[in-house]
């Protein structure tokens, strides 16, 4: 997809399984929103094609749109209508019956904490309340596939948790969710699989655990010894795969050994300690977080290393 | 909103109309009707042009407030969206015209319209709504800023209004100029 001469999304290819929450992660400007705009038929790609729910994106947009729900990144609502009327008219546009609309409005007002402001017009609401209205509105109708473009922007932690839980609940009911965010905690909480995109290209695509394993790089082994000698320090430094050792700066801090592969390094560290009679009092393995993987990938991408 | 839209046409008829009539005299030169009677029907029909400018403004507002993108990813086609705007504008224009007609009816005494004339007026209102509505919708699709949108509407609609012969007869206009006036009638 090209905007003038800027390529926003380039050669992106992926499949999303039915009923999964698929996280589409990337820094600002990575191409997440453009991808969603293409998949929701809002933008026509300059080249390439895709199938959404089995329908051709270019020729069957009219069959796709009634089956999807979209929460866009930009806040949108009818300014002159109250919260309740906003929900109601949206359900009406989607041909939801009056009785069903009434039921859903009550459910969503309660779920998203909007009951007290049901008669208030959006311009008088806080940013978080407006966002909650926007997300809630999309659940006024049924959809087989939901596109959520950074739906938690502007939400407080509690509202964020409620939204993510609701998304999970919907996924359990069989709704497929395409979820974009740049908050890795959210992705870890809600997504079954993720793709990391940057500069319009997919850098990784797998389950979160596999992505961490494949792209996580170094692990950190945290240790405490009864006594730490210079012999032990030298021996640990000479072990293959040890990248660096960080000495504690405070009494309550452990020694940190950064290794390429914790599975192979750990037995060797224990062996060295045993051979020097250094008693290990605490041992902890810290795997790289998704945040670490993401930052590392984006940094590599900036350095021109686009390919996996 | 409706009340606001009615202020200008009623001002034209009841303030400007009577004020100019006092200068022009009891009859429009070359006709046997008063200036107010000459002016009022034109102002009624002109409502479709004002309503049409709202169509573009509505689309522009939808775009600016991200509702446009939200609606067009809904279970509708683009045509349905555009058509709904045109129909709503047509109805709005007709309603405005009818209300102005009702309020101005005391000054329209003496105006006689045949059945064919009524059909001609109604079809003109419909076609005019579609034309001006489509025009402002097309403009609002391409314009990027609110200021540019308002400026273009002013540049287009103000000359159209004064070249429409609503306010005065264009019989005295230069002959070369008259050739192009079919556009504004």
Which residue in A has a C-alpha nearest to residue B63's C-alpha?
A76
* Structure-token match 């979820």, residue found: A179
Note the pLDDT of residue A31. Answer: 83
Q: Is residue A302 part of a domain?
A: no
Note the pLDDT of residue A71. Answer: 94
Domain termination site, one of A195, A213, A231? A213
Q: What is the mean pLDDT of chain B?
A: 82
Whether A134 has a pLDDT exceeding 50, the answer reads: yes
| Most trustworthy range by pLDDT among A121-135, A218-232, B65-79, B85-99 | A121-135
Who has greater pLDDT, A204 or A84?
A84
Using one digit for the tens of pLDDT, what is the confidence trace for A106-129?
A: 999 999 999 999 999 999 999 999
Of the pLDDT bands very low, low, confident and very high (cuts 50, 70, 90), residue A305 is very low
Whether B59 has a pLDDT exceeding 70, the answer reads: yes
Q: Is residue A306 part of a domain?
A: no
* Structure-token match 């996924």, residue found: A171
Whether B92 has a pLDDT exceeding 70, the answer reads: yes
Q: Are residues A119 and A6 in the same domain?
A: yes
B60, B69, B76, B79: best mutation site toward chain A, by most A Cβ within 10 Å?
Answer: B69
**Structural domain that includes position A230:** 218-287
Q: Are residues A9 and A94 in the same domain?
A: yes
Rounded CA-CA distance A203/A195 in Å is 7
Note the pLDDT of residue B154. Answer: 86
Q: Is residue A204 part of a domain?
A: yes
Q: How many CB pairs under 8 A join A and B?
A: 38
**Tally of domains within chain A:** 2
Of the pLDDT bands very low, low, confident and very high (cuts 50, 70, 90), residue B184 is low
Question: Structure pTM?
Answer: 0.75
Q: Are residues A278 and A138 in the same domain?
A: no
Domain termination site, one of A196, A213, A230? A213
A73: distance to nearest CA of chain B, Å?
9
Q: Are residues A104 and A181 in the same domain?
A: yes
Note the pLDDT of residue A7. Answer: 60
B32: distance to nearest CA of chain A, Å?
48
Q: Are residues A85 and A133 in the same domain?
A: yes
Note the pLDDT of residue A39. Answer: 93
Q: Which of A115-119, A235-239, B107-111 is predicted least confidently?
A: B107-111
Contact B65 A79 (CB under 8 A): yes
State the CATH number of the domain containing residue A84: 3.40.50.300
Rounded CA-CA distance A10/A178 in Å is 19
Using one digit for the tens of pLDDT, what is the confidence trace for B150-167?
A: 888 888 888 888 877 788
Q: Are residues A257 and A229 in the same domain?
A: yes
**In A, which residues are within 8 Å of B72 by CB distance?**
42
Q: Are residues A127 and A40 in the same domain?
A: yes
Note the pLDDT of residue B139. Answer: 87
Whether B176 has a pLDDT exceeding 90, the answer reads: no
Note the pLDDT of residue A13. Answer: 81
Who has greater pLDDT, B124 or A213?
B124
A195 token code pair: 């793709």
Q: What is the mean pLDDT of chain A?
A: 87
Q: Are residues A197 and A267 in the same domain?
A: no
Q: What is the SS3 string spanning chain A? A: CEECCEECCCCCCCCCCCCCEEEEECCCCCCHHHHHHHHCCCCCCCCCCCEECCEECCCCHHHHHHHEEEECCCCCCCCCCCHHHHHHHHHHHCCCCHHHHHHHHHHHHHHCCCHHHCCCCHHHCCHHHHHHHHHHHHHHCCCCEEEEECCCCCCCHHHHHHHHHHHHHHHHCCCEEEEEECCHHHHHHHCCEEEEEECCEEEEEEEHHHHHHHHCCCEEEEEEECCCCHHHHHHHHCCCCEEEEECCCCCCCCEEEEECCHHHHHHHHHHHHHHCCCCEEEEEEECCCHHHHHHHHHHHHHCCCCCC
Averaged pLDDT, A7-16: 75
Which residue in A has a C-alpha nearest to residue B79's C-alpha?
A62
Whether B16 has a pLDDT exceeding 50, the answer reads: yes
């Amino acid at each position: 997809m090209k905007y003038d001469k800027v390529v926003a999304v380039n050669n992106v290819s992926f499949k999303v399984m039915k009923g999964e929450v698929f996280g589409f992660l990337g820094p600002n400007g990575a191409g997440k929103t453009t991808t969603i705009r293409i998949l929701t038929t809002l933008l026509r790609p300059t080249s390439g094609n895709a199938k959404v729910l089995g329908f051709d994106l270019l020729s069957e947009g009219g069959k796709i749109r009634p089956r999807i729900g979209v929460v866009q990144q930009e806040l949108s609502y009818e300014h002159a209508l109250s919260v309740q009327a906003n929900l109601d008219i949206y359900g009406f546009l989607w041909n939801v019956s009056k009785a069903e609309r009434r039921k859903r409005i009550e459910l969503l007002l309660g779920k998203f904490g909007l009951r007290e402001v049901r008669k208030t017009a959006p311009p008088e609401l806080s940013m978080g309340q407006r966002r909650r209205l926007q997300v809630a509105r999309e659940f006024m109708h049924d959809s087989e596939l939901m596109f959520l473009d950074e739906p938690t922007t502007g939400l407080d932690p509690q509202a964020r948790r409620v939204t993510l839980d609701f998304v999970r609940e919907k996924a359990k009911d069989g709704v497929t969710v395409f979820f974009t965010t740049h908050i890795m905690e959210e992705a870890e909480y809600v997504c079954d699989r993720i793709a990391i995109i940057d500069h319009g290209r997919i850098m990784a695509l797998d389950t979160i655990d596999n992505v961490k394993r494949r792209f996580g790089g170094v692990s950190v082994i945290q240790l405490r010894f009864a006594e730490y000698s210079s012999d032990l320090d030298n021996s640990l430094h000479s072990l293959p795969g040890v990248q660096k050792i960080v000495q504690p700066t405070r009494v309550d801090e452990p020694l940190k050994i950064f290794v390429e592969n914790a599975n192979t390094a750990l037995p060797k560290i224990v062996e060295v300690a045993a051979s020097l009679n250094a008693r290990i009092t605490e041992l902890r393995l810290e795997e790289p977080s998704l945040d670490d993987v993401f930052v590392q990938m984006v940094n590599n991408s900036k350095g021109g290393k686009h390919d996996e | 909103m409706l009340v606001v839209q009615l202020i200008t046409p009623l001002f034209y008829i009841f303030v400007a109309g009577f004020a100019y009539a006092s200068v022009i005299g009891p009859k429009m030169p070359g006709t046997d009707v008063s200036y107010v009677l000459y002016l009022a029907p034109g102002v009624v029909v002109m409502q479709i042009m004002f309503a049409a400018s709202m169509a573009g403004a509505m689309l522009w507002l939808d775009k600016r407030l991200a509702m446009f993108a939200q609606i067009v990813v809904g279970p509708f086609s683009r045509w349905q969206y555009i058509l709904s705007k045109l129909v709503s504008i047509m109805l709005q224009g007709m309603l405005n015209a009818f209300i102005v007609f009702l309020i101005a009816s005391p000054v329209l005494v003496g105006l006689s319209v045949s059945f064919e004339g009524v059909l001609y007026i109604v079809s003109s209102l419909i076609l005019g709504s579609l034309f001006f509505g489509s025009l402002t919708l097309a403009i609002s699709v391409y314009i990027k800023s609110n200021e540019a949108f308002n400026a273009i509407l002013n540049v287009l609609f103000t000359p159209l209004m004064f070249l429409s012969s609503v306010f005065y007869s264009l019989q005295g206009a230069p002959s070369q100029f008259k050739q192009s006036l079919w556009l504004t009638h």
